[in-house]
Amino acid sequence: MRSTESGSDCSTRSLRDVHDLKFLRVVWQSFNLEHEMRIVLTTLLIPLACVSCTAVSPGQKAADQAAVRPDRWEAEIAKLEKADRENPPPPGAVVFVGSSSVRRWKTLKEDFPGIPVINHGFGGSRIADCTRYIDRIVVPCRPRMVVLYAGDNDLAGRRTPTQVFEDYREFVEQVRRKLPGVPIAYISIKPSPARRKYQEAMREANEMIRAYVVGEDDLIYIDVFTPMLGPDGTPRPELFVADRLHLSKQGYDLWREIVAPHLK
């Protein structure tokens, strides 16, 4: 009996061992499969997460690309120079220089009757771009006043308010050096529905420039920021075209009313 029981016990243990080994093998295979799946999922999801975190709007992408191409407006500058050669601007005019808000101001001459004005807005330029081309589109005009509008492309291109202010100061120093005594008017950075998230940065940059202008006889600060806001503190939608960034006719009419007294 002992011998029989002993053999039965060995057989039972063997079966249990086999069963345990099979169970362990299944567990191990499951673990490996789960581990491999984790690796695969991690490989797939991490790039997607990175894309999600770093995705930028088309406007932001264009601004970033522009930042690494200092000659990106060369064709537009050459076109302005060609137009000036063919129809030389009168000396003593007011030259407007800056970004698309100036470039798209098609009624600029009609809006300031009796005041010779020159529209030298180009592209989606930044303040540094305007400084870069002073010798080509500002100084040769021999203006009696320079009006600059730029800054919101700078902020959308990840410049800080302080950097915008420093860029403005560099523009001023260059104009002062090359056109001594010529007044420089700065149209404040405009708020817009499309760039609502930059509104506080715009306000900060504007305030730094406004404070700098105080006490400087040759500098003028023109505030369009405040009147372009509604009672709720957000940009007035009627002042913009469908892209919610550029000015509508109502927007330019408002600018005309605000800017005109400073040109006399």
**Residue 20 confidence (pLDDT):** 52
- Convert 48-75 to b/e letters by CB count within 10 Å (16 or more is b): eeeeeeeeeeebeebbeebbeeeebbee
- CA 22, 24, 29 angle in degrees (round to 5)? 95
The verdict on 44 and 149 lying in the same domain is no
The verdict on 6 and 106 lying in the same domain is no
The verdict on 114 and 38 lying in the same domain is no
Reading the block at residue 47, the tokens are 């790039």
Its domain, for residue 44, covers: 1-55
pTM of the model: 0.76
The verdict on 216 and 114 lying in the same domain is yes
**Residue 244 confidence (pLDDT):** 98
**Residue 70 confidence (pLDDT):** 77
The verdict on 17 and 117 lying in the same domain is no
The verdict on 44 and 114 lying in the same domain is no
- Convert 4-14 to b/e letters by CB count within 10 Å (16 or more is b): eeeeeeeeeee
The verdict on 76 and 10 lying in the same domain is no
**Residue 1 confidence (pLDDT):** 42
Per-residue pLDDT of the chain (264 residues; tens, 9 = 90+): 434 444 444 444 444 554 555 544 544 455 454 545 454 444 444 444 443 333 444 444 445 545 558 789 999 999 999 999 999 999 999 999 999 999 999 999 999 999 999 999 999 999 999 999 999 999 999 999 999 999 999 999 999 999 999 999 999 999 999 999 999 999 999 999 999 999 999 999 999 999 999 989 999 999 999 999 999 999 999 999 999 999 999 999 999 999 999 998
The verdict on 34 and 151 lying in the same domain is no
DSSP 3-state of 206? helix
Reading the block at residue 25, the tokens are 């093998």
Determine the residue type at 246: H
**Residue 43 confidence (pLDDT):** 45
CA 117 to chain centre: 28
What DSSP assignment string belongs to 115-162?
S-EEEEE-TT--HHHHHHTHHHHTGGG--SEEEEE--HHHHHTT--HH
Determine the residue type at 198: Y
The verdict on 249 and 118 lying in the same domain is yes
- Convert 83-94 to b/e letters by CB count within 10 Å (16 or more is b): ebeeeebeeebb
The verdict on 39 and 84 lying in the same domain is no
The secondary structure of residue 189, as a DSSP letter, is P
pLDDT in tens, 182-215: 999 999 999 999 999 999 999 999 999 999 999 8
**Residue 56 confidence (pLDDT):** 44
pLDDT in tens, 151-166: 999 999 999 999 999 9
The verdict on 23 and 103 lying in the same domain is no
**Residue 47 confidence (pLDDT):** 44
E strand spans, the chain: 94-98, 117-121, 145-149, 184-187, 219-222
CB of 138 closer than 8 Å to CB of 179:
yes
What DSSP assignment string belongs to 217-232?
TTEEEE--TGGGB-TT
Return mean pLDDT, the chain.
84
The verdict on 46 and 96 lying in the same domain is no
The total domain count for the chain is 2
